[in-house]
Amino acid sequence: MNRKIDIQEIIDFITFNLPKESHLRTNLNTIKLGKWESKAYYKFVDSTDANKPKSKWQFKENIILEHPKYKTIVLDILQDDQLGGIEFIKFI
């Protein structure tokens, strides 16, 4: 697990790099801390039964950003414009 990564720093980076009109940007202000699912993936939303009815995890799209230190990060965006998780490609 990459506990040395400051997730709040990553959230700040994402917020700064998203367009001002992005609904995700607004939702990042209220995000609750998640947990490391693997050495490369930090999840905010439980993905049990992903994309099934009544699951909290309803995938919408990915957003790919280039972080100066961690390089390529992939954001899993859910249907309600929530951040489901962040994958750090460098650590796969």
Q: Is residue 56 part of a domain?
A: yes
Joined together, the tokens standing for residue 2 give 């990459």
Q: Is residue 62 part of a domain?
A: yes
Q: Is residue 67 part of a domain?
A: yes
Joined together, the tokens standing for residue 81 give 């414009």
Over residues 24-82, the pLDDT tens digits come to: 988 898 888 899 999 999 999 999 999 999 999 999 999 999 999 999 999 999 999 99
Q: Is residue 29 part of a domain?
A: yes
Q: Is residue 87 part of a domain?
A: yes
Q: Record the pTM.
A: 0.92
- Total domains present in the chain: 1
Q: Is residue 2 part of a domain?
A: no
Instruction: Tell whether the torsion through CA atoms of 22, 42, 6 and 62 is positive or negative.
Output: negative
Q: Is residue 1 part of a domain?
A: no
Range of the domain at 38: 7-91
d(CA 47, CA 12): 23
Q: Is residue 20 part of a domain?
A: yes
Per-residue pLDDT, 20 = 82
